Amino acid sequence: MLAAIDRERYDIIPVGITRDGAYVLERDDAAAFALNADAMPTVVDNGTRVRWPDSAASRTLTVREADGSERVLGEADIVFPILHGPWGEDGTLQGMLELVGLPYVGSGVLASALGMDKHFTKTVLQHAGLPVAPWQTVSALQWRTDPDAVQQSSTALGLPLFVKPARAGSSVGVSKVSSADQLGAAIELALAEDDKVLIEAGLAGREVEIAVLGGRAGEPTRASVAGEIVVSGREFYDFAAKYLDAPGIELVCPAPLSDKELSTMQSLAIRAFDAIGGEGLARVDFFLTADGFVINEINTMPGFTPISMFPKCWQASGLTYPQLIDELIDVALARA
């Protein structure tokens, strides 16, 4: 985004978050954050501290420099919280921004929390009459106290299974289970990320995704053309494939679908987005099975790299990457 955003229209205040949760003033240098499998980018604590407004009456950001001096960074018109996973995509950061009165891109507290928690996403979508894969949710306590019951109820869903942390992103902690003896290790891997695990029936079908843009007040939600994930040399679409362009995955956009299939998929995506109260943007992931479309999950802050499906789908629908950034910011400002 740093490389693509229109510098004639926007002044950027790049805020980084360290592993310890400190907000630091980062370099405005896209190259510093290039995704490299051998050296993933890290926000280093440079000694600065970005200060958020101390009340909703001001939108002024300040920074305390490493030498202790302070200066004003400017008045923030909008925050683009381009973060995945807990403490970024799950409503917590959105809540903080609400408290200090800063407008931001994307879904609010409730929709962000719903989209992050796969158990409650499925519960809400199922209640809205939308198709989801059979699943069960297992807590760490259930697994520790009665693993045999968990094993029995999980394998009853059939094989293969997918085991996921209920509240994580980017396929972190996700395993494909092809035999019953793999289930325990998969659950332990997922529990390393969350204390609640989702165990889903694996579905036979094509993996297809669609990008959604929320409208301004009084305007409808919009859906892009669809993209397809073609898996050839990997078990599934994992972190390395999503962010590091690892081999074994091909992203096809637009996906080869009939007009009726695309129309059905767009309608389901918009219904899912509206069902959780989504705002701004989302990517809705599906399986196209012999019985029709099944919603896998909703991502309320989807991958935004040049190889990510969300911008690819909108580019195939006629919006360039910079235009997509403009649209998201304009929608958020209109909402604010």
Q: What is the C-alpha separation between 303 and 253, in angstroms, rounded?
A: 15
Q: Do 105 and 80 meet the contact criterion of CB atoms below 8 Å apart?
A: yes
Which residues sit opposite 207 in a β-bridge?
229, 287
What is the radius of gyration, based on Cα positions, of the chain? 21
Q: What was the pLDDT predicted at 5?
A: 94
Q: What share of the chain is helix, strand, coil (3-state, %, to 5)?
A: 30, 25, 45
pLDDT 10s digits, 272-325 = 999 999 999 999 999 999 999 999 999 999 988 877 899 999 999 999 999 999
Which tokens hold the place of 186?
């998969």
pLDDT 10s digits, 133-178 = 999 999 999 999 999 999 999 999 999 999 999 998 667 899 999 9
Which residues sit opposite 293 in a β-bridge?
288
In the CATH scheme, what architecture does the domain 111-132+204-335 have? Answer: 2-Layer Sandwich (3.30)
Torsion of CA 77, 81, 82, 83, to 10 degrees: 170
Q: What is the C-alpha separation between 186 and 295, in angstroms, rounded?
A: 22
CATH number for domain 135-201, candidates 3.30.1490.20, 3.40.50.300, 3.30.70.20, 3.30.470.10? 3.30.1490.20
Q: Give the three-state DSSP class for 81.
A: coil
Provide mean pLDDT across the span 170-193. 92
Confidence band of 53 (pLDDT split at 50, 70, 90): very high
Provide mean pLDDT across the span 257-270. 98
Provide mean pLDDT across the span 88-103. 95
Question: Which residue has 């999950």 as its token pair?
Answer: 297
Count other Cβ atoms within 10 Å, centred on residue 14.
16
List the one residue out of 25, 34, 23, 43 whose CA is nearest residue 1: 34
Angle, vertex CA 180, rays to CA 178 and CA 186, nearest 5: 75
Confidence band of 84 (pLDDT split at 50, 70, 90): confident
Mean pLDDT of all residues belonging to the chain: 93
Q: What was the pLDDT predicted at 307?
A: 79
Helices (H), the chain: 92-100, 109-116, 118-127, 140-145, 147-155, 183-191, 239-243, 259-275, 309-316, 321-335
DSSP secondary structure string, 190-257?
HHTT-SEEEEEE---SEEEEEEEEPPSTT---EEEEEEEEEESSSSS--HHHHHS--SSEEEESS---
Q: Model pTM greater than 0.85?
A: yes
Asked whether residue 244 carries a pLDDT value surpassing 60, the answer given is: no
Where do the structural domains in the chain lie, given as residue ranges?
1-76, 111-132+204-335, 135-201
Q: What is the C-alpha separation between 25 and 40, in angstroms, rounded?
A: 19
pLDDT 10s digits, 248-259 = 788 899 999 999
Asked whether residue 326 carries a pLDDT value surpassing 80, the answer given is: yes
